[in-house]
Amino acid sequence: DDYVLKGSLGRGVNGEVRLCQHRATGELFAVKCLLKSRLRAADEVARAYAERQALAEIAAIRDCAQWVPRLHECFQDASHLWLVQEYVPGGDVLTLLQRRGVLAEAEAFFYVSELV
């Protein structure tokens, strides 16, 4: 009830990412909505839990992870797991590659060097 769901930002195997707005502050977030019914296999549940743990750990060392959207909060209801993250307009690297096809060598070097 703290958020108003807006449009879809993307889809994955186990759910989708949607834009949402915090009712009290008006701040925008990206919320990953994972359908519990699609997390049937033990490895899928473990993967969802590991993602949540990794995002929480990265949030704790924010200065070292400026390119990873910060995890704001997590919660669940009867049918979904919800991971509320910082909204980054413009999308991720996959979206960039889908739009542009290829990156110039200098751009690719920049993004790869940020991962190492």
- Contact (CB, 8 A) for 103 and 58: no
Per-residue pLDDT of the chain (116 residues; tens, 9 = 90+): 799 999 999 887 778 999 999 999 999 999 999 888 777 765 776 777 777 787 777 767 666 556 678 888 989 898 888 999 999 887 777 778 888 888 999 998 988 887 66
The predicted model scores a pTM of 0.72
Binding residues are: 32
Distance CA 55, CA 99 (A): 26
- Contact (CB, 8 A) for 20 and 4: yes
Binding residues for ATP are: 32
- DSSP H helices, 1-116, are 42-60, 93-100, 105-115
Over the range 68-78, which residues count as b (16 or more CB within 10 Å of their CB) and which as e? Answer: bbbbbeeeeee
Structural domains in the chain plus CATH codes: 3-89 (3.30.200.20)
The terminus-to-terminus CA distance of the chain in angstroms comes to 39
